[in-house]
């Protein structure tokens, strides 16, 4: 594989693939997917590159992209790279204050915005951002504020680029582009403190391509990837760049909530996701099994058992399964597994990278048992995503995979995972102190995650900064409990409370419709959700389920009391980051009264 610099990659691929489809996006008005060929993609990127010159964007200038996933995000990214400019994505769900911080920190003059929400948020802080000169709006249906005299729509921004009048300037800039140029600054929304801009250079992406080509040789230009996670997130961004580098077709899912529908329309071979996606699949199957009886139930349970023996005990280890197991597996492959995959929309599946949080062993075993090739991995924004991932053979359940080729990993003090290599960031934008804290004098990046190595396989134990210490001096790892309890079909979100407390407690957001179904079944009468969640039978249901799931934990690690919340944790109240990770300090503050109540004698 040739590793093309991002400034020319789309054009080189267009020369190779021409009229083959590069991208697809869903037109919601027509309810159909619109294809974009490699030639069209390349021409549009050239126009955007010219339009950026017309706008006055200079080499190494920072431009912002504040949008949900749209083809325009790719056009703008690659148009910027052609000009040696730096693209800075903002999460589509960012609050005005978060947007303001990034615009000012990166001194952004030109901000591309997606839909009404992003436009409104950006326009509301326009006057508080001295560097900001213009908003360029992707979506034509956005209604501009009556006081807005400077914003333009994307098609207006593109007008001066008709006929590519600035192509010479673009070509000269592209000729100067090097691996040492800064490509992106990705602001991590951190569960604590203000965001830090992680600098990713072109060299980081080029090395990421090289090592993924070695680890994932079975990814080909016949693959179709649906993009579900935000393009702002390093996992999806680096993955999509890898897909383009490999000639994979990318289908852009505009609204994350629609993934259940769009995945069935596209039936992709690849998709990056977080463990929550597979937890929901698992919960759905468990619920289905619980509803069945007799032969149907026995068949479903047997299918999982046979698949586990076939895929995990034999195939994973490079061994040939016994003949009887092969026969039964083939039968289930055409029936039970096929039906399950078709129901999800992944019957054409090649493999499915999964990262961003811990994957419980039950989920991992189940997904592999039914013949879905989930590749569990671990990475950070600072490592251009992948640090480790499952190899195609001999992967270890419970691990986060084998270390990627060319990357150095060692275990430091407090079992902290340290990294060194060409995919590792050179530091945080304009934050010398934070950079010096994270990257030591020998060039090792300190991840803040604790773990251990068994040969090439990496295991995570906890997030060092997130360890809780009870008032009895015992250490608790909240993520381990949250991962374990989160697989229950009645639990949607969970926050473990233990820091400086006598025992472990939990705030739980239930799956409300399941609780309502349970109430109907048990004949429980209630006037609202708050009353229902306090009902002794509902409390008893959750107590029994939690106790069953937490048996493997030491007594002091187990949840002793819990509160069921009538509404979910939210980004608006600052309880979740843009990547839906819990902000523990905010949760502790917002629910202080409820938490204190659990600790009253």
Q: Which domains does the chain have, with CATH numbers?
A: 18-177+216-266 (3.40.50.12780), 275-425+437-464 (2.30.38.10), 467-598 (3.30.300.30)
Residue 323 has pLDDT above 90, yes or no: yes
Q: How confident is the model at residue 270 (pLDDT cuts 50, 70, 90)?
A: very high
**Backbone Cα Rg of the chain:** 25
> Token pair for residue 551?
């048996």
Residue 466 has pLDDT above 90, yes or no: no
Whole-angstrom CA distances from 461 to 97, 356, 464, 470, 527 are: 34, 15, 9, 18, 43
- Average confidence score pLDDT of the chain: 94
Which among 401, 391, 554 is positioned nearest to 484, based on CA atoms? 554
Within 13 Å of residue 338, how many CA atoms lie on the same side as its CB? Answer: 7
Q: How confident is the model at residue 468 (pLDDT cuts 50, 70, 90)?
A: confident
The pLDDT score that the predictor gives to residue 189 is: 65
For residue 417, list its beta bridge partners. Answer: 411
The pLDDT score that the predictor gives to residue 192 is: 55
Which residue matches tokens 């977080």? 274
Q: Which residues contact 65 (CB under 8 A, 6 or more apart)?
A: 73, 76, 77, 87, 88, 89, 90, 111, 112
The predicted-structure confidence for 3-48, as pLDDT tens digits, reads as follows 999 999 999 999 999 999 999 999 999 999 999 999 999 999 999 9
d(CA 329, CA 312): 13
The predicted-structure confidence for 518-530, as pLDDT tens digits, reads as follows 999 999 999 999 9
Residue 127 per-residue DSSP state: G
Which among 118, 117, 111, 116 is positioned nearest to 151, based on CA atoms? 111
DSSP letter string, 36-61: EEHHHHHHHHHHHHHHHHHHTPPTT-
Measured distance between the N- and C-terminal CA atoms of the chain, rounded to whole angstroms: 65
The pLDDT score that the predictor gives to residue 190 is: 59
Which among 49, 185, 41 is positioned nearest to 108, based on CA atoms? 185
Q: What percent of the chain has pLDDT over 70?
A: 99
d(CA 594, CA 563): 8
Q: How confident is the model at residue 82 (pLDDT cuts 50, 70, 90)?
A: very high
The predicted-structure confidence for 552-566, as pLDDT tens digits, reads as follows 887 888 999 999 999
Q: Which residues contact 591 (CB under 8 A, 6 or more apart)?
A: 507, 563, 565
Which among 465, 400, 455, 389 is positioned nearest to 423, based on CA atoms? 389
For 115, left (φ over 0), alpha (ψ -120 to 50), or beta? beta
SS (HEC) of 168-214: HHHHHHHHHCCCCCEEEEEEECCCCCCCEEEEEEHHHHHHHHHHHHH
Which among 132, 182, 160, 181 is positioned nearest to 49, based on CA atoms? 160
Q: Which residues contact 539 (CB under 8 A, 6 or more apart)?
A: 533, 564
Which residue matches tokens 């004698």? 601
Whole-angstrom CA distances from 168 to 53, 157, 178, 184 are: 10, 19, 18, 24
Please state the separation of Cα 127 from the chain's center in Å. Answer: 32
The predicted-structure confidence for 287-306, as pLDDT tens digits, reads as follows 889 888 899 999 999 999 99
β pairing state of 224-227 and 445-454? unpaired
Model pTM score: 0.88
The pLDDT score that the predictor gives to residue 462 is: 80
Q: How confident is the model at residue 467 (pLDDT cuts 50, 70, 90)?
A: confident
User: Average pLDDT of 202-227?
Assistant: 97
In degrees and rounded to multiples of 5, residue 393 shows phi and psi of -135, 155
The predicted-structure confidence for 164-197, as pLDDT tens digits, reads as follows 999 999 999 999 999 999 999 999 865 556 789 9
d(CA 558, CA 99): 39
The pLDDT score that the predictor gives to residue 193 is: 62
> Token pair for residue 474?
């015992």
Query: Helix (H, G, I), strand (E, B), or coil: what is residue 408?
Result: strand
Please state the separation of Cα 293 from the chain's center in Å. Answer: 37
User: Average pLDDT of 456-475?
Assistant: 82
Please state the separation of Cα 23 from the chain's center in Å. Answer: 20
DSSP letter string, 287-326: HHHHH--HHHHHHHHHHHHHHIIIIIIIGGGT-PPPHHHH
User: Average pLDDT of 327-341?
Assistant: 96
Which among 233, 265, 270 is positioned nearest to 248, based on CA atoms? 270
Which among 401, 403, 409 is positioned nearest to 377, based on CA atoms? 401
The predicted-structure confidence for 351-379, as pLDDT tens digits, reads as follows 999 998 888 899 999 999 999 999 999 99
- Contact between residue 266 and residue 34 where contact means Cβ atoms under 8 Å apart: no
Residue 309 has pLDDT above 90, yes or no: yes
For residue 446, list its beta bridge partners. Answer: 418
For residue 197, list its beta bridge partners. Answer: 187
3-state percent helix, strand, coil for the chain, nearest multiple of 5: 45, 20, 35
Q: Which residues contact 142 (CB under 8 A, 6 or more apart)?
A: 113, 115, 116, 119, 153
In degrees and rounded to multiples of 5, residue 235 shows phi and psi of -60, -50
- Contact between residue 337 and residue 303 where contact means Cβ atoms under 8 Å apart: yes
d(CA 250, CA 235): 15
Residue 435 has pLDDT above 70, yes or no: yes
The predicted-structure confidence for 141-168, as pLDDT tens digits, reads as follows 999 999 999 999 999 999 999 999 999 9
DSSP letter string, 332-381: HHHTHHHHHHHHHT-TT--BEEE-SSPPPHHHHHHHHHTT--EEEEEEEG
The predicted-structure confidence for 372-424, as pLDDT tens digits, reads as follows 999 999 999 999 999 999 999 999 999 999 999 999 999 999 899 999 999 99
Other beta carbons within 10 Å of 196: 23
């Amino acid at each position: 594989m040739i590793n093309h610099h991002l400034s020319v990659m789309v054009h080189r691929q267009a020369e190779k693939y021409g009229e083959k489809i590069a991208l697809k996006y869903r037109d919601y008005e027509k309810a159909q997917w619109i294809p974009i060929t490699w030639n069209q993609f390349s021409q549009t990127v050239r126009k955007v590159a010219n339009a950026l010159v017309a706008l006055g964007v200079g080499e190494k200038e920072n431009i912002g992209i504040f949008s949900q996933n749209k083809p325009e995000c790719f056009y703008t990214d690659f148009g910027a790279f052609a000009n040696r400019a730096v693209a800075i994505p903002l999460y589509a769900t960012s609050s005005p204050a978060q947007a303001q911080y990034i615009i000012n920190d990166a001194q952004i003059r030109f901000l591309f915005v997606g839909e009404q929400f992003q436009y409104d948020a950006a326009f509301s802080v326009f006057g508080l951002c001295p560097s900001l000169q213009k908003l360029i709006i992707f979506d034509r249906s956005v209604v501009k504020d009556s006081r807005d005299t400077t914003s333009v729509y994307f098609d207006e921004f593109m007008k001066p680029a008709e006929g590519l009048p600035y192509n010479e300037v673009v070509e000269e800039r592209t000729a100067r582009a090097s691996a040492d140029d800064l490509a992106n600054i990705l602001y991590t929304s951190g569960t604590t403190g203000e965001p830090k801009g992680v600098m990713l250079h072109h060299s980081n992406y080029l090395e990421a391509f090289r090592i993924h080509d070695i680890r994932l040789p079975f990814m080909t230009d016949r693959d179709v990837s649906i993009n579900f996670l935000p393009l702002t997130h390093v996992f999806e961004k680096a993955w999509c760049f890898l897909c383009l580098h490999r000639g994979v077709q990318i289908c852009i899912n505009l609204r994350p909530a629609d993934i259940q529908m769009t995945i069935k329309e596209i039936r992709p071979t690849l998709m990056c996701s977080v463990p929550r996606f597979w937890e929901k699949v698992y919960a759905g199957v468990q619920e289905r099994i619980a509803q069945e009886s007799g032969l149907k139930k026995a068949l479903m349970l047997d299918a999982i058992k046979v698949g586990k023996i076939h895929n995990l005990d034999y195939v994973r280890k490079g061994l040939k399964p016994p003949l009887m197991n092969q026969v039964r597996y083939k039968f289930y492959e055409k029936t039970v597994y096929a039906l399950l995959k078709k129901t999800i929309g992944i019957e054409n599946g090649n493999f499915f990278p999964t990262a961003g949080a811990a994957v419980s062993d039950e989920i991992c075993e189940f997904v592999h048992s039914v013949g879905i090739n989930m590749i569990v991995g671990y990475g950070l924004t600072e490592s251009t995503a992948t640090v480790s991932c499952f190899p195609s053979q001999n992967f270890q359940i419970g691990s986060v995979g084998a270390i990627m080729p060319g990357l150095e990993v060692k275990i430091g003090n407090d079992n902290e995972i340290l990294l060194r290599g060409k995919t590792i960031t050179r530091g945080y934008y304009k934050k010398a102190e934070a950079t010096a804290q994270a990257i030591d004098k020998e060039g090792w990046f300190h991840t803040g995650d604790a773990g251990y190595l068994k040969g090439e396989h990496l295991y995570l134990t906890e997030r060092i900064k997130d360890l809780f210490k009870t008032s009895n001096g015992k250490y608790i790892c909240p993520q381990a409990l949250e991962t374990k309890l989160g697989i229950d079909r009645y639990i949607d979100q969970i926050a473990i409370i233990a820091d400086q407390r006598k025992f472990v407690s939990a705030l739980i957001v239930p799956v409300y419709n399941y609780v309502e179904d349970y109430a109907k079944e048990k004949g429980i009468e209630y006037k609202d959700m708050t009353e229902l969640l306090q009902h002794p039978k509902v409390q008893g249901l959750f107590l029994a389920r939690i106790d069953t799931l937490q048996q493997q934990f030491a007594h002091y690690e187990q949840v002793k009391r819990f509160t069921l919340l009538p509404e979910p944790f939210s980004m608006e109240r600052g309880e979740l980051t843009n990547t839906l990770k819990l902000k523990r300090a905010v949760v502790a503050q917002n629910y202080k009264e409820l938490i204190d109540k659990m600790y009253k004698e």
